């Protein structure tokens, strides 16, 4: 057949490059490849030999070429469309394109998940154009995550419009002038290209002005769906819910068509984003050029190596794109390359987000027109912006995800020439992990894209926005699950109830303006001394990167931050020329607000919950760009920054701690190193950057009562990342332990336990101790729980008070204690519960809350126990009044009822009118269970195993203490109601209500 013949001759496949401009029928006209180029094979051999002579190992994989698979549609496309396709050189459709068209025709929501440049645009354009040829009144809204893609797609689209068919396409975005916008509103084109920002800020709030669009809205296209993840994706889920709601108000129910780069959860993500079930099409019919993929682990600076490789590629005439992970690095590599080879001049550019649109457009055009031979960029050029064919792709550092790696690598390959991808490993944990495990790297599945539509802050903001667009009915189907939130917003006065009580209105006009869907918190404008905007930075980053004194880079130019104004959202800078960069020093603290889920692995309890995190930038360090030597530290006086988020944490039992300390390891250094290494591997499981995740390690966390490591989402409200980590925690422990054991460094390095983001300058860190801690957590190295008291020593401290307290017990002020006891005999033994004064004391355990220590009493010491209780300022317990005190009545004539007692069970009963078991409350509130039951304890006592009874009793005391702590802090405990719903039980554990006020 003619097409495949031609393809064989020229090696050009118009669809593969997703280029559908008229010129594309003539391949050389569009993206002329320099004619006499060396074979990439030969260059790869040279490189390999070079590394071999220097004794550097490299890994090389050949990714074979793949021939295309075509298919035919059941019913052919209308002739005018085929004509248009032929004009751009397309004679047949790939299998995935046919599958998408058939699914769209059947009224399903197709989602195409195929490689970069596999002709994905046709999968939505063809079914829509087919429909429009039959129904000119229908409208389609095409959404692209970034503006540059709208421009790119419009050009593509215009070549496909059948001439004279009366079908029009136009862009509306923030750059569209008001007069033009007015025309588009009155008479919207059939195909309207836009972005989620404009949808959120204009199409939705001003829907009445856009009613022609909404009334006829037949299709919504979501391109690059995988970019809708994290904070942005969580916002988009709500913007799209609002879209469906506004459309419904006009009687429209648009069909969605989406495409995405490869991720592991396309079905789940698309459903979370749109509320619809998608038909996922992932069998890629597009051909692939053969590629060489080289993994390099430089011994010197990876950036110098990258600069050198970039120059080598350019000298060989390979059009090259280099991806750096940080804006700073992209700028530096471009600068160094230009300095090394001044003849490069304007043929090499840097490109990144934060540049102005005109700067970006100039680079895109330069690449496309071959005026540029190379570009150094951040992720900004990862999306499908057509910059023409490329020959080589340098990944300066692992891009952070398998999805990104192949997305970036997919940019190269033009004509029939083989292409080259080189990954230059950085001294970072993930890079080194993959360099040591190349099979894992090349065979690893794609990650999941995570969104969290339940993020309270995001949900709340969009709920108010929705109410401002169309009043919320009390039975609103789109927000049926948010009744409580609606009521809360009503209480806060943000929603107003209509007089007839059927609808809520937003009090504020235009609440959309206060929602930045790209971030949590408003973006800051970066202004030079003349007041000229040089870029933007989002609020959370600004706190860390734009504090006064920080050095900020833009287009190779360094700027010193003069002032950060978080109220006005402005950063003032001045240009400087210096040889150092800055890193912030910060301190962090966290408080558990609520436990959402608990699990256990090898005896290690771990939890997922809501956390309150307080961060404070205390100062910063200056380090030399070359060599990274510290020049100095500088203090800052900035206010703390507090936010609520979602995180996971696990306890490090005292026995494990003792095991680690016995080897001479530094315990704090060990858990700090565990925290760093775990965070570094987090991106193996979810699409994120290590800087999206925060961590704090505690030798003793006041709420947990022992050592604990916290890992949390670094965004207010959380975005589902650590929630994912929580599900795979044991696996993450294992991978982290492997990482530490495999790193050949002596005492920790950036490839294992150092973190570039550490607020305490990577101090203290103990790599050996970290490995040991992980072995303990995994159950690989045994440890014994030292909380078990030694026989000769009944009074043992389990944890140390936070502040040293040398006071003697006998002279100390009356303390607050938690108390529980075990008996010698059962109710059956003594003839029923009402005979409990005859049950006899086996063990009484008092936990002193002020001194953080246990005091244990057996029957011979009962007088001491009673003295302890009688002189306490407060006695906290569970069922004290109806049980424990009655048992003790047999030993002393004390007015038990007058003791300052906080009986948790009594509080429960007063509130609910029925009683709950300690085990039930502990499980629901803390995610913890009792270690045994009372019958077991009686059996131990009878068998003479008093130590086990003591341990059991201590566990119950600790459980009671944690319930008390939780209730005091949160004002509620959790229990499960009769219908199985976990609900709150309000409590007031204010000590003053129960304790002895004066003595």
Q: What is the dihedral of CA 113, 115, 119, 125, to 10 degrees?
A: 20
Query: Binding to Zn ion (CB under 5 A): which residues in 743-782?
Result: 743, 745, 749, 751-752, 758
Pick the piece of the chain touching Zn ion (CB under 5 A) from 94-102, 437-445, 582-590, 735-743. Answer: 735-743
State whether the Cα torsion 177-183-187-190 is positive or negative: negative
Q: Which is nearer to Zn ion, 96 or 767 (CB)?
A: 767
Q: Interface with Zn ion includes 25 (CB under 5 A)?
A: no
In whole angstroms, give the CA distance from residue 751 to residue 764: 16
Q: Are 562 and 572 in contact (CB under 8 A)?
A: yes
Q: Are 556 and 536 in contact (CB under 8 A)?
A: no
Pick the piece of the chain touching Zn ion (CB under 5 A) from 71-79, 178-186, 377-385, 737-745. Answer: 737-745
Length of the chain: 999
Q: Which is nearer to Zn ion, 71 or 745 (CB)?
A: 745
Q: Which is nearer to Zn ion, 23 or 749 (CB)?
A: 749
Pick left, alpha or beta for residue 832 (phi over 0 → left; psi -120 to 50 → alpha; otherwise beta).
left
Q: Which residue matches tokens 């933007």? A: 536
User: Which of these, 757, 716, 758, lies nearest to 230 by C-alpha position?
Assistant: 716
In whole angstroms, give the CA distance from residue 958 to residue 922: 11
In whole angstroms, give the CA distance from residue 830 to residue 836: 7
Structure tokens at 937: 């304890």
In whole angstroms, give the CA distance from residue 137 to residue 151: 24
Q: Which is nearer to Zn ion, 564 or 752 (CB)?
A: 752
Q: How far is the CB of 768 from Zn ion (least distance, A)?
A: 11
Q: Are 208 and 130 in contact (CB under 8 A)?
A: no
Q: How far is the CB of 745 from Zn ion (least distance, A)?
A: 3
Q: Which is nearer to Zn ion, 585 or 743 (CB)?
A: 743
Q: Strand 70-71 to strand 93-94: parallel, antiparallel, or no bridges (unpaired)?
A: antiparallel
Q: Which is nearer to Zn ion, 139 or 754 (CB)?
A: 754
Site string for Zn ion, 607-626 (x = CB under 5 A): --------------------
Q: How far is the CB of 719 from Zn ion (least distance, A)?
A: 21
Q: How far is the CB of 90 from Zn ion (least distance, A)?
A: 52
Number of Cα atoms under 13 Å in the Cβ half of residue 493 = 0
In whole angstroms, give the CA distance from residue 19 to residue 23: 9
Q: How far is the CB of 676 from Zn ion (least distance, A)?
A: 6
Q: Are 147 and 198 in contact (CB under 8 A)?
A: no
Q: How far is the CB of 751 from Zn ion (least distance, A)?
A: 5
In whole angstroms, give the CA distance from residue 235 to residue 232: 5
3-state DSSP helix/strand/coil % of the chain, to nearest 5: 40, 25, 35
Q: How far is the CB of 429 from Zn ion (least distance, A)?
A: 8
Q: How far is the CB of 741 from Zn ion (least distance, A)?
A: 10
Q: Strand 533-538 to strand 551-554: parallel, antiparallel, or no bridges (unpaired)?
A: unpaired
In whole angstroms, give the CA distance from residue 396 to residue 411: 15
What's the gap between Cα 471 and its chain centre?
A: 33
Structure tokens at 559: 């700027």
Q: Which is nearer to Zn ion, 625 or 745 (CB)?
A: 745
Q: Which is nearer to Zn ion, 262 or 771 (CB)?
A: 771
Q: How far is the CB of 660 from Zn ion (least distance, A)?
A: 18
CB atoms closer than 10 angstroms to residue 177: 8
Q: How far is the CB of 615 from Zn ion (least distance, A)?
A: 12
Q: How far is the CB of 759 from Zn ion (least distance, A)?
A: 6
- Orientation angle between helical segments 79-87 and 147-160, nearest 10 degrees: 110
Q: How far is the CB of 654 from Zn ion (least distance, A)?
A: 23
Pick the piece of the chain touching Zn ion (CB under 5 A) from 207-215, 287-295, 739-747, 823-831. Answer: 739-747
Q: How far is the CB of 749 from Zn ion (least distance, A)?
A: 4
Q: How far is the CB of 755 from Zn ion (least distance, A)?
A: 5
Q: How far is the CB of 819 from Zn ion (least distance, A)?
A: 39
Count of residues that bind Zn ion according to CB under 5 A: 6
Secondary structure (3-state) at 240:
helix
Q: Which is nearer to Zn ion, 692 or 956 (CB)?
A: 692
End-to-end CA distance of the chain, in Å? 102
Q: Which is nearer to Zn ion, 673 or 841 (CB)?
A: 673
In 780-890, the DSSP E strands lie at: 816-823, 841-848, 853-858, 874-877
DSSP letter at 222? E
Pick the piece of the chain touching Zn ion (CB under 5 A) from 354-362, 516-524, 740-748, 780-788. Answer: 740-748
Q: Which is nearer to Zn ion, 497 or 745 (CB)?
A: 745
Q: Which is nearer to Zn ion, 763 or 803 (CB)?
A: 763
Pick the piece of the chain touching Zn ion (CB under 5 A) from 126-134, 274-282, 648-656, 741-749. Answer: 741-749
Site string for Zn ion, 280-309 (x = CB under 5 A): ------------------------------
In whole angstroms, give the CA distance from residue 920 to residue 600: 17
Tally: H helices and E strands in the chain: 34, 37
In whole angstroms, give the CA distance from residue 54 to residue 272: 51
Secondary structure (3-state) at 898:
helix
Could you tell me which residues come within 8 angstroms of residue 487 by beta carbon, excluding any fewer than 6 positions away?
none
The runs of H, that is alpha helices, within 410-494 are 429-436, 438-443, 456-469, 483-491
In whole angstroms, give the CA distance from residue 235 to residue 212: 26
Query: Binding to Zn ion (CB under 5 A): which residues in 532-551?
Result: none
Query: Binding to Zn ion (CB under 5 A): which residues in 219-248?
Result: none
In whole angstroms, give the CA distance from residue 722 to residue 678: 11
Q: How far is the CB of 742 from Zn ion (least distance, A)?
A: 9
Q: Which is nearer to Zn ion, 8 or 763 (CB)?
A: 763
Q: Which is nearer to Zn ion, 419 or 743 (CB)?
A: 743
Q: How far is the CB of 538 from Zn ion (least distance, A)?
A: 23
Q: Which is nearer to Zn ion, 767 or 787 (CB)?
A: 767
Q: Which is nearer to Zn ion, 184 or 586 (CB)?
A: 586
Query: Binding to Zn ion (CB under 5 A): which residues in 148-167?
Result: none
Q: Which is nearer to Zn ion, 14 or 714 (CB)?
A: 714
Number of Cα atoms under 13 Å in the Cβ half of residue 918 = 24
DSSP letter at 77? P
Site string for Zn ion, 319-338 (x = CB under 5 A): --------------------
Q: How far is the CB of 710 from Zn ion (least distance, A)?
A: 12
Q: Which is nearer to Zn ion, 251 or 761 (CB)?
A: 761
Pick the piece of the chain touching Zn ion (CB under 5 A) from 267-275, 365-373, 476-484, 738-746. Answer: 738-746
Structure tokens at 585: 């020093």
Site residues for Zn ion per CB under 5 A: 743, 745, 749, 751-752, 758
């Amino acid at each position: 057949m003619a097409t495949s013949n031609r393809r064989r001759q020229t090696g050009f496949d118009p669809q593969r490059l997703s280029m559908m401009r008229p010129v594309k029928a003539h391949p050389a006209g569009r993206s002329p490849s320099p004619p006499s180029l060396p074979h990439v094979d030969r260059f790869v051999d040279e490189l390999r030999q070079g590394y071999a002579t220097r004794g550097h190992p490299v890994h090389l994989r050949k990714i074979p070429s793949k021939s295309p698979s075509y298919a035919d549609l059941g019913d052919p496309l209308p002739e005018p469309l085929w004509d248009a396709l032929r004009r751009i050189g397309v004679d047949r459709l790939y299998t995935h394109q046919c599958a998408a068209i058939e699914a769209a025709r059947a009224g399903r929501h197709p989602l195409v998940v195929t490689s970069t440049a596999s002709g994905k645009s046709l999968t939505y354009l063809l079914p829509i154009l087919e429909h429009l040829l039959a129904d000119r009144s229908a409208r389609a809204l095409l959404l692209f995550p970034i503006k540059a893609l709208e421009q790119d797609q419009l050009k593509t689209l215009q070549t496909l419009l059948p001439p004279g068919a009366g079908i029009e396409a136009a862009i509306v975005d923030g750059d569209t002038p008001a007069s033009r916008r007015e025309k588009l509103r009155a008479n919207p084109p059939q195909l309207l290209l836009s972005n989620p920002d404009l949808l959120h800020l204009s199409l939705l709030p001003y829907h009445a002005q856009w009613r022609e669009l909404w009334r006829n809205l037949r299709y919504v296209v979501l391109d690059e769906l995988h970019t809708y993840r994290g904070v942005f994706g969580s916002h988009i889920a709500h913007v799209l819910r609002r879209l469906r709601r506004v459309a419904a108000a006009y009687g429209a129910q648009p069909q969605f068509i989406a495409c995405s780069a490869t991720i592991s959860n396309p079905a789940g993500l698309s459903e979370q984003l749109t509320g619809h079930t998608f038909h996922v099409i992932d069998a890629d019919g597009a051909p692939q050029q053969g590629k060489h993929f080289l993994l390099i682990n430089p011994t010197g600076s990876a950036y110098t190596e990258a600069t050198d490789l970039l120059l080598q590629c350019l000298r060989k005439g390979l059009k090259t794109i280099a991806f750096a992970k940080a804006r700073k690095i992209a700028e530096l590599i471009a600068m160094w390359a230009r300095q090394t080879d001044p003849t490069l001049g304007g043929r090499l550019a840097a490109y990144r987000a934060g540049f102005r649109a005109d700067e970006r457009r100039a680079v895109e055009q330069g690449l496309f027109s071959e005026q540029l031979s190379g570009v150094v960029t951040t992720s900004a050029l990862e999306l499908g912006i057509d910059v023409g064919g490329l020959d080589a792709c340098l990944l300066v550092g692992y891009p952070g995800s398998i999805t990104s790696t192949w997305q970036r690598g997919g940019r190269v390959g033009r004509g029939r020439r083989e292409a080259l991808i080189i990954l230059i490993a950085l001294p970072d944990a993930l890079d080194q992990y993959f360099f040591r495990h190349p099979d894992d790297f090349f065979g690893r599945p794609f990650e999941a894209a995570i969104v969290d539509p339940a993020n309270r802050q995001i949900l709340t903001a969009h709920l108010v926005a929705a109410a401002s667009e169309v009043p919320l009915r009390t039975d609103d189907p789109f927000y049926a699950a948010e009744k409580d939130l609606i009521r809360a917003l009503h209480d806060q006065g943000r929603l107003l109830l209509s007089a007839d009580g059927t609808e809520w209105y937003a009090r504020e006009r235009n609440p959309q303006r206060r929602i930045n869907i790209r971030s949590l918190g408003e973006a800051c404008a970066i202004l030079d001394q003349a007041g000229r905007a040089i870029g933007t930075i989002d609020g959370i980053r600004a706190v860390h990167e734009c504090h006064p004194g920080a050095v900020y880079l833009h287009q190779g130019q360094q700027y010193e931050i003069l002032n950060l104004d978080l109220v006005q959202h402005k950063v003032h800078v001045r240009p400087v020329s210096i040889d150092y960069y800055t890193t912030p020093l910060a301190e962090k603290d966290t408080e558990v607000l609520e436990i959402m889920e608990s699990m256990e692995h090898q005896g290690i309890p771990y939890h997922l919950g809501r956390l309150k995190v307080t961060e404070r930038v205390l100062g910063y360090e200056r380090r030399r760009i070359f060599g990274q030597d510290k020049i100095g530290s500088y203090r800052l006086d900035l206010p703390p920054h507090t936010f609520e988020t979602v995180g996971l944490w696990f306890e490090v039992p005292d026995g494990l701690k003792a095991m680690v300390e016995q080897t001479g390891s530094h315990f704090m250094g060990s858990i700090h190193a565990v925290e760093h290494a775990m965070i570094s591997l987090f991106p193996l499981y979810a699409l994120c950057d290590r800087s999206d995740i925060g961590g704090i390690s505690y030798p003793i966390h006041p709420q947990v009562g022992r050592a604990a490591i916290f890992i949390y989402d670094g965004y207010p409200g959380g975005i589902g990342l650590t929630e994912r980590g929580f599900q795979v925690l044991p696996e993450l422990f294992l991978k982290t332990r492997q990482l530490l054991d495999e790193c050949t460094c002596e005492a920790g390095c950036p490839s294992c336990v150092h973190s570039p983001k550490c607020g305490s300058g990577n101090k203290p860190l103990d790599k050996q101790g970290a490995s040991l801690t992980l072995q303990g957590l995994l159950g690989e190295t045994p440890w014994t729980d030292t909380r078990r008291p030694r026989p000769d020593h009944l009074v043992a401290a389990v944890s140390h008070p936070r502040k040293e307290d040398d006071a003697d017990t006998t002279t100390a002020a009356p303390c607050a204690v938690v108390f529980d006891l075990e008996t010698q005999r059962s109710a059956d033994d003594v003839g029923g519960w009402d005979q409990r004064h005859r049950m006899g004391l086996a063990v009484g355990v008092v936990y002193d809350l002020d001194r953080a220590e246990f005091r244990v009493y057996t029957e011979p010491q009962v007088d001491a126990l009673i003295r302890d209780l009688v002189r306490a300022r407060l006695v906290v317990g569970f069922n004290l009044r109806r049980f424990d005190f009655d048992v003790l009545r047999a030993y002393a004539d004390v007015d038990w009822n007058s003791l300052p007692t906080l009986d948790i069970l009594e509080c429960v009963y007063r509130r609910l009118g029925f009683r709950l078991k300690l085990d039930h409350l502990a499980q629901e509130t803390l995610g913890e269970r009792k270690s045994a039951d009372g019958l077991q304890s009686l059996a131990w006592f009878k068998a003479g195993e008093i130590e086990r009874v003591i341990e059991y009793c201590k566990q119950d005391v600790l459980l009671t203490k944690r319930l008390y702590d939780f209730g005091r802090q949160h004002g509620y405990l959790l229990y499960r109601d009769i219908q199985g719903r976990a609900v709150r039980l309000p409590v007031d554990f204010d000590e003053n209500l129960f304790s002895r006020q004066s003595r």
